[in-house]
Amino acid sequence: MSALADLREQICMFARALHGRGLTHGSTGNISARTPDGGLLVTPTGSSFLTLDPARLSLFDAGMTLVDGDKPTKEMPLHRAFYDTRGASGAIVHLHSAHSVALSMMPDVDEDDFLPHLTPYPIMKLGRVKLLPYFMPGDAAIGDAIRGLAGKRSAVMLANHGPVVAGKDLEAAVYAIEELEASAQLAMMTRGLNPRALSEENVARLVEKFDVDWGA
């Protein structure tokens, strides 16, 4: 199997896994990944993560011209923005996962540090997650907002919409967005209960030990 064919299968496999865990539903969510020649494979618009066809994924060449497959997701602006500002990114995952969306609607969430510091792994895998304002799905302004971060964040939360995570490869991006959703679920479960969070010293040691890109 060629590297491109293998990547097609991986995208569909991870998409089915995310759907099976209830982290996306209907035709929501989208995935993109760098191809060996510098192009992109992208999930098509209106497609379900449960029934993706590897042969119908949207294929872009290195010049970002669609050369094969179905019409891509309308969220291409956010994908392009991450690739343009975080050159080492090998994949982007965007979901409409329920707990992270619920947390984004809470009035007292820290826009600059969306996830409360309850467990170490979100810090290690995501750094600080930026909460961006609400934009209409597919709006090019989402891409502009991500570009405005100048590549300093690997993950953003679109208010009332869903998380977006960039990773060095597809596996890393999927694992990181799963961690984001699990952390948001913990935050919602413990909301108002005054849970014992990690201390600032705990967080600082994690950032140093695991060389976390903490962002500005």
Is residue 177 in a domain? Answer: yes
Residue 115: inside a domain, yes or no?
yes
Q: Is residue 145 part of a domain?
A: yes
Domain-located, residue 215? no
Cβ atoms of 121 and 103 closer than 8 Å: no
167 forms bridges with which residues in the sheet? 91
Quote the domain boundaries for residue 63: 3-209
What is the number of structural domains in the chain? 1
* Within-domain flag for 216: no
CATH number of the domain bearing residue 71:
3.40.225.10
Q: Is residue 9 part of a domain?
A: yes
Rounded to the nearest 10 degrees, what angle do helices 140-147 and 76-85 cross at?
A: 20
Whether 175 is catalytic: no
Structural domain includes residue 30: yes
9-59 pLDDT, tens digit each:
999 999 999 999 999 999 999 999 999 999 999 999 999 999 999 999 999
pLDDT for 194 equals 93
pTM, two decimals, is 0.96
- What is the structure's pLDDT at 214? 85
More confident site: 170 or 215: 170
Q: Of all residues in the chain, what percent carry a pLDDT higher than 70?
A: 100
Q: What is the dihedral of CA 150, 170, 142, 207, to 10 degrees?
A: -40
Please indicate, yes or no, if residue 71 is contained in any of the structural domains: yes
The Cα angle at residue 188 between residues 165 and 213, in degrees rounded to 5 = 30
